[in-house]
Amino acid sequence: MRDLLWGCQLRDEATIREALRALRMHSPPRGPALGVEIFDIDAGHQVVLVPRTGRIQIRIHVLTPQDQRHQAARSIASWLEELVNGRPTTEEHRR
């Protein structure tokens, strides 16, 4: 299985706190899971955030067709950026 995990890094503590706040408002995290917070979003995809480091992992659902995985990851990353920056978000990734 390819292209199911995508990662990025938040740069500072304020952004990490804002990402946590925004994601928690969107969906309660699963867990606790040893220092990570796992958020279920649409279509079985997940966003995993490591608060200590700011590392974010976007997990694409295994049943997403191979040719749609890049676009799904980009779409989730854009949605997350909008969510963290307080801009209006599209309804695409709302539960």
Q: Is it the case that residue 89 has pLDDT exceeding 70?
A: no
pLDDT higher than threshold 70 for residue 70: yes
What backbone phi and psi angles, to 5 degrees, belong to 50? Answer: -100, 100
In a domain, 91, yes or no: no
27: domain range? 5-86
Domain membership flag for residue 71: yes
DSSP readout, 30-84? EEEETTEEEEE-GGG-EEEEETTTTEEEEE--TTS-GGGHHHHHHHHHHHHHHHH
C-beta separation of 33 from 49 below 8 A: no
Is 43 part of any domain?
yes
Q: Which DSSP category does 51 fall into?
A: T
Query: Residue 72: which pLDDT band, with cuts at 50, 70 and 90?
Result: very high
7 C-beta neighbours (distance < 10 Å), count: 10
Q: Tens digits of per-residue pLDDT, 5-58? A: 999 888 889 888 899 998 999 888 986 668 899 999 989 999 999 999 999 999
Round to whole Å and give the CA distance between 13 and 33. 20
Task: CATH number of the domain at 41, please.
Answer: 3.30.310
Return the amino acid letter for 48: V
Specify if 92 maps to a domain: no
* pLDDT class of 95 with cuts at 50, 70, 90: very low
Structure tokens at 52: 């200590």
